[in-house]
A and B are shown apart, each in its own frame.
Chain A
Amino acid sequence: MSAGRVLLKRELSLAWGGGGGPLLACGFFLALTAIVPLAAGGDPRVLQPVAGGIAWIALALASLLSLERLFERDFEDGALDLLALGPLPLEAVFAVKALAQWLAIGLPLAVAAPVAAIALGADPGWAPLILGSALLGSLGFAFTGALGAALALGSKRGGLLIAVVVLPLFIPPVIFGAGALEQALTGLSPWPALALLGATPCSPWR
């Protein structure tokens, strides 16, 4: 088994174990989605126009989940030394960890996004577009988020610090992702926005 796969397997087992991973992410996502109509009123005429946007906000916030532990836990218990002595350069370790983060958190969130949008009154016909843009967007969130998590390493106030560092970096994916929905809604082609969205996971290497 190649080193990358060995590491990915371990990262996934760590992300899924301990109650993290899909359950937590989807629970948070669902709670956020459910609280919007409670705060803004359940009238579909109010909710429908912003359904896609709310799903994107929820996606961005839920993507912040468990970022704090992504590198911190390996730093605290010494596993980072072990990872640094492995066959992969640290850049590749970073990429594998970000990918595992996406598989455990981003992917389930992206699948939940169309459900949330429809529950908020979006047209079910938009589901494939919402799913596609959420898949790309969550990939962007995972990689930029991992960058923020790596930068905040060793600080004593991980969670909020990472949110403050990372949320501004989340702006481009949010603009392109919600923009794709907006353009499709007004009859324009969503592809340019989706293409830009697809480029956002590369941002840690720019």
Chain B
Amino acid sequence: MVFGLANPDRFMRFTRPLMPVVWAAAVGLLLAGTWLSFTAPEDYQQLDTVRIMFVHVPAAWLGLAAYVALGVSSFFALVFRHPLADAAARAAALPGAVFTALALATGSLWGKPMWGAWWVWDARLTSVVVLFLFYVAYMALRAAIDDEAKAARAAAVLGLVGLVNLPIVKFSVDWWNTLHQPASLLRAEGPSMTAAHLTPLLVMGLAYMMLFTALWLTDIRTEVRRRRVLTMRARAAQEA
């Protein structure tokens, strides 16, 4: 199934009818999730600020999930040298970076009322910053090499190295954090979650997942088309 889809033509044919469905699901779930987020009761401790969680937590999930998609696609691009896998890795980078940046920004907004500071260098936040840097590195490397085939190979190696390194970074940052205990600050974990908050969170998580899928597939399809145009142009130039 997966390998059958590796043929760009078959991939285009298969995903074409899927696109409206995926987009509709993404938009519908986002609307539902937003509505649920705003109608959820206030938290007895965090009051209204708890709603930031419904944006923040799914964004962090997807930031990580997109990197996994990028890394796994890079693996396939590297091992099977397949252009579609390369397009998939490339297409995951920008949405992933945006989700991660969103998680960082909303985390900062949340941190101010919760911890009294816009930013705290704790293990989890620092790991997310490093994840964001991985995305930046991937995109920068990709853009910096003019030759697309070379850029694809270099980026695939980096994506794979990043995937392997993420747990190591996570571990080392945790170790760093126990080494330097941050000064007296509230812990991030609030009281355990009630169903009233869990439902909107899960709906938003699903919405983000659909949104990422929609963006991802759209970008891959665009990339396949772009490469076709490039091929045609090169052919026209050869005849000129």
- Please say whether the chains A and B touch (CB closer than 8 A): yes
Of the candidate stretches B76-84, B177-185, B195-203, the one touching chain A is B177-185
A24 in contact (CB, < 8 A): yes
Partner of A41, one of B133, B141, B180: B180
Q: With both chains docked as a complex, state the minimum distance between the C-beta of A24 and any C-beta of chain B, in angstroms.
A: 5
Report the contact-size class of chain A (Cβ under 8 Å from the partner).
20 to 34
A44 near B173: Cβ-Cβ < 8 Å: no
Q: Which residues of B contact A120 (CB under 8 A)?
A: 119
Do A121 and B117 touch (CB < 8 A)? yes
Q: Which residue of B lies closest to A34 (CB)?
A: B129
Q: Contacts A37-B121, A38-B126: A19 and B182 contacting too (C-beta < 8 A)?
A: no
Interface contact B143-A44, CB-CB below 8 Å: no
Whether B136 and A27, one on each chain, are in contact in the complex, defined by CB atoms closer than 8 angstroms, is: yes
Q: How many residues of B contact A (CB 8 A)?
A: 27
Is the contact region of chain B dominated by helix, strand, or loop, or is it mixed? Answer: helix
A78 at the interface (CB under 8 A from B): no
B180 in complex: contacting residue of A18, A43, A118, CB < 8 Å: A43
Q: Are A19 and B129 in touch, CB under 8 angstroms?
A: no
Closest chain-B Cβ to A186's Cβ sits at a distance in Å of 23
A27 near B182 (CB under 8 angstroms)?
Answer: no
Give the distance in Å from the alpha carbon of A41 to the alpha carbon of B142 in the complex: 33
B133 touches A42 (CB 8 A): no
Is B146 in contact with chain A by the CB < 8 A criterion? yes
- A69 to chain B minimum Cβ distance, whole angstroms, is 11
Q: Is A154 at the interface (CB under 8 A from chain B)?
A: no
Q: Tell me, in angstroms, the Cα distance from A196 to B133 when the chains sit together.
A: 35
Is A20 part of the contact surface with B, judged by Cβ < 8 Å?
Answer: yes
Q: In the assembly, what is the distance between CA of A43 and CA of B183, in Å? A: 6
The one of A27, A42, A119 in contact with B140, judged by C-beta atoms closer than 8 angstroms, is A27
Whether the Cβ atoms of A19 and B117 lie closer than 8 Å is: no
Distance in Å: Cβ of A33 to nearest Cβ of chain B: 9
* Complex contact A19–B130 (CB within 8 A): no
Q: How far is the CB of A129 from chain B (nearest CB, A)?
A: 17
Report if B99 contacts A (CB, 8 A): no
Is A45 an interface residue, CB under 8 A from the partner? yes
B136: nearest chain-A partner, CB-CB:
A27
Q: Of B120, B130, B137, B144, which one neighbours A42 at CB under 8 angstroms? A: B120
Q: Chain A contacts of B119 at CB under 8 A? A: 118-121
Annotate A104-137 by CB proximity to B: 1 below 8 A, 0 otherwise: 0000000000000011110010000000000000
Cβ-defined contact, A19 with B141, below 8 A:
yes
B67 on the A face (CB < 8 A): no
Is B132 among interface residues, defined by CB-CB distance under 8 A?
A: yes
Asked if A23 is at the interface of the complex by the 8 Å CB criterion, the answer is: yes
Chain B residues positioned under 8 Å from A37 (CB to CB): 121, 126
Task: Decide if A167 is an interface residue (CB 8 Å cutoff).
Answer: no
- CB-contacts of B161-176 with A (<8 A): 173, 176
Nearest A residue to B183, CB-CB: A43
Q: Is B140 touching A23 in the complex (CB atoms < 8 A)?
A: yes
For residue A24, which residues in chain B have a CB less than 8 angstroms away from its CB?
Answer: 140, 144
A45 near B183 with CB under 8 A, answer: yes
Contact A34 B139 (CB under 8 A): no
- Judge whether B118 and A27 touch: CB under 8 Å: no
**Bitwise interface map of B from 141 to 166 toward A, beta carbon under 8 Å scored 1, else 0:** 11110100000000000000000000
- Residues on B with C-beta less than 8 A from A27 are 133, 136-137, 140
A-B contact list, 18 entries, CB within 8 Å = A18-B144, A23-B136, A23-B143, A34-B130, A37-B126, A38-B176, A42-B121, A42-B122, A42-B126, A42-B177, A43-B182, A43-B183, A44-B183, A45-B183, A118-B118, A119-B118, A121-B119, A124-B118
With A42-B120, A42-B177 already in contact, 9 other A-B pairs whose C-beta atoms are closer than 8 Å? A18-B143, A19-B141, A19-B142, A27-B140, A31-B133, A34-B129, A37-B121, A41-B179, A42-B122
